[in-house]
Amino acid sequence: MSLSLKPNSFRGRRTGPVVVVVMDGVGMGVDYPGNAITAARKPCLDHLMSTCLWTKLAAHGTAVGMPSDADMGNSEVGHNALGAGRVFDQGAKLVQEAIDSGAMFRGEGWKQVVANCQRANGCLHFLGLFSDGNVHSHINHLRSMIAQAKSAGVAKVAVHALLDGRDVGETSALDYLEPFERWLAEVDPNYGIASGGGRMSITMDRYEADWSMVERGWHTHVLAEGPRFPSASSAVKALRLSKPGVIDQDLPPFVVERSGRPFAPIVDGDSVVFFNFRGDRAIEISKSLLGLPVPFERVRQPAVCYAGMMTYDGDTNLPPRILVAPPLIDRTMGEYLVGSGQRILACSETQKFGHVTYFWNGNRSGYLDKSLERYIEVPSDRVSFDERPWMKAAEITDATIAALIEQPTGFARINYANCDMVGHTGSFVAARMAVEAVDLCLARLLPAIAKIGGITIVTADHGNADEMLEMDKTGAVRFENGRAKAKTAHTLNPVPAIIVDPGFAGEYAIDTSIARPGLANVAATALALMGFDKPEAYEPSFLTFKR
């Protein structure tokens, strides 16, 4: 199949690039006391919304391949849709289907981890994000696998619970731990939770931003080092008392003991399943457990049968043993652009660099064509994002402007991570500052793009900072212990898509015939503004062009 693009009637109307700016975590929610977007001083965005063509895009649920419209979007599936121009069934849906049909348990990956336990009388360890957020994992998938392990005669099961507080309520850990501990005891007294800690404290680093998180996780899950408690729920209660105000994602690591000894460190002969289906925060711990090179001293490398829920890095086939096949995302926008000789620029800071590269390219790492592509990674700061809500937005802006001036580019994509990463901290004031930082950078970036004759599509991949306080069904703010309850999760709100085109002369308009435009419509829109027809099977442009 040809990956070259066909010119349309708009070809040559503009001299500069089309630039997609992803304001990560900027949704369009109701104006209430917890909306940091509406509360922020953002003269640039306000001006764009009053003077430019814009529309709302669906960025959650079925619009991005999730099982239902009750499911939040996230940066992974959002950037997949932005880059692929189509909607693919994503991890959560694929895993649930594999469980419901029994295909997971008939697969070689599952058979091998169970057979290894039976042969070596080893423990089956399940490590992953312990919640029903359905962004990285789902606790119901874990329950199903444990029940199946019991049916298969596995003698000992240990769960290593990475506490969430990010895709679910910020202090909801006990809502999951206490009923789960009771359920495990009913399933088998030799089954239990062995260790845990907050997801932003241990194990779930991504993009090699902070390997010390993985090292702490290794010492917790494998070496069973750290403070010991009789149960995971008692650990959470004690750690909250010792660190007043701490939210779940930041809880320190802990180890569960029985009869005065750690219940289940990971040792030779065991099997380990990392039950996250999303890849970005699964790669580093996978490398560690597979014995691949890592930048920390492991002390002890257990010989285990390791499996991931899905493939976390397609180019390196990591991990080689999986339970569910990932979506095959082909014919991405990037492939068509390099196939047509177009130069591409991608830029973000470390926290979202993989999103404008790996995820945008259909879960493919590395360059598609290095002669035509330039990827710029700005190293992220290793601090809590609420302490520095401006993050690296200014540096991303500097690097993008310089690169666009230095070399002609057909298409560019950048990501400002602020409103997502700061939104996840639960700090309303910091989130408002994050919005203002992005707005300041847009005010610098847009004139630079206009000066070289370009068009900018300003959009987002999902909401976050638009709901910083939890609401009840009536829309009222929830209170807990006398204070408004912070929300750290993504939202179900649509996101804006603003066309910033200084050369606009009425050549196109918003296509109101599309019932529910979503993130997947952005690819065809960007290509149309570059002067190309959309590839076969792509979702249509949300613009209609006048003949």
Q: Is 75 a catalytic residue?
A: yes
CB neighbours of 359 closer than 8 A, spacing ≥ 6? 75, 76, 79, 80, 83, 280
Kindly calculate the radius of gyration of the chain based on its CA atoms and give it in whole angstroms.
24
Q: Would you call the peptide bond into 265 cis, given omega within 30 degrees of 0 as the criterion?
A: no
- Pairing status of strand 455-459 against strand 495-500: antiparallel
Place of tokens 């289907």: 97
CB neighbours of 86 closer than 8 A, spacing ≥ 6? 520, 537, 538, 539
Place of tokens 């300003």: 458
Q: Which of 75, 137, 172, 231 is catalytic?
A: 75
Which phi and psi (to 5°) does residue 487 adopt? -115, 130
Burial label, 356 (beta-carbon count in 10 A; 0-12, 13-18, 19+): buried
3-state secondary structure of 89: coil
- Residue type at position 196: G
- Helix residue spans in 253-385 (DSSP H): 283-290, 333-339, 350-354
Burial label, 481 (beta-carbon count in 10 A; 0-12, 13-18, 19+): exposed
CB neighbours of 373 closer than 8 A, spacing ≥ 6? 334, 338, 343, 344, 345, 346, 367
3-state secondary structure of 518: strand
The token pair that represents 267 in the structure block: 């040792």
Q: Which residue in 506, 538, 524 sits closest to 13, CA to CA?
A: 506
Alpha-carbon separation of residue 491 from 29, 463, 524 (angstroms): 8, 5, 25
Report whether 351 contacts 380 (CB < 8 A). Answer: yes
Distance CA 60, CA 462 (A): 7
Report whether 495 contacts 59 (CB < 8 A). Answer: yes
- Residue type at position 505: A
Report whether 223 contacts 299 (CB < 8 A). Answer: yes
Which phi and psi (to 5°) does residue 342 adopt? -90, 135
Neighbours of 401 (CB within 10 A): 17
Which residues does the annotation mark as catalytic? 75
